[in-house]
Amino acid sequence: MKYYQHQFDEVTKYLHHRPPYLLVDVVVSVSSKEAVTQKTVTSKDGFIHGHFPGAPVFPGAMMQELTTQSAGVLIASQYNPMKDFNTEDPHHNEYALGVLVKIDHARYRGFARPGDVLVTTVSLNDQVSDMFDFSASVSVNGKPIMKNRFRLINIRSSALQKTD
C-alpha cells in the first residue's frame, strides 16, 4: 500500500483529477518532450462492469482521457505558467492546465482487460503559446492498442467557472 500511496502522491502533484476519475497510477518518466505513465486496469474501475457485461474491457473513451491526463502531467511539470501551482485547491490557480480542445484522430487496435497494465507514452509535437499538440500511444505488453493525436490548451481558470 505504501508503494501505491507514494505513486498517488506523485501523480496528484501534477493533476487535479481525483478518484474515481484519476486514471494515471504511476508517472514512469517525464521530460520536456515526452511523458510515460502507467494505469493498471482493475475490476474495481466502475465503468468496467458495464463495458461490456460478461466481457469487460477498458473503454476507448477512457483511453483517450488517459492520454490527455498523461499529457497534463507533462504540461504541469514542464510548461506550467504559475510558480505557485496548487492541485488541492484548483480555485487557487490562475490557469487550468491542459484543457482538451481537439482530437485529430484516434485508432484502436486491441483491448485492455482487468489485470492489464496500460503504458501510455505522450510526445509533444509542437507548442504555440499556450497550445500543445501531442501524439500518444497506449500499449499492453509492448503491443500498441491505441494511438491518437490531440491538442490541449492552458486557459484562465475563470473561463471554466459558471457565470449567470
- Asked whether 133 and 100 are in contact (CB, 8 A), the reply is no
CA dihedral 104, 144, 58, 9 (to 10 degrees): -90
CA 110 to chain centre: 19
- Backbone phi and psi for residue 3, each to the nearest 5 degrees, phi listed first: -60, -45
Give the length of the chain.
164
Using alpha carbons, select from 119, 133, 141 the residue that is nearest to residue 71: 133
6 included as an active-site residue: no
* Catalytic pick among 16, 51, 91, 92: 51
Active site amino acids: 51
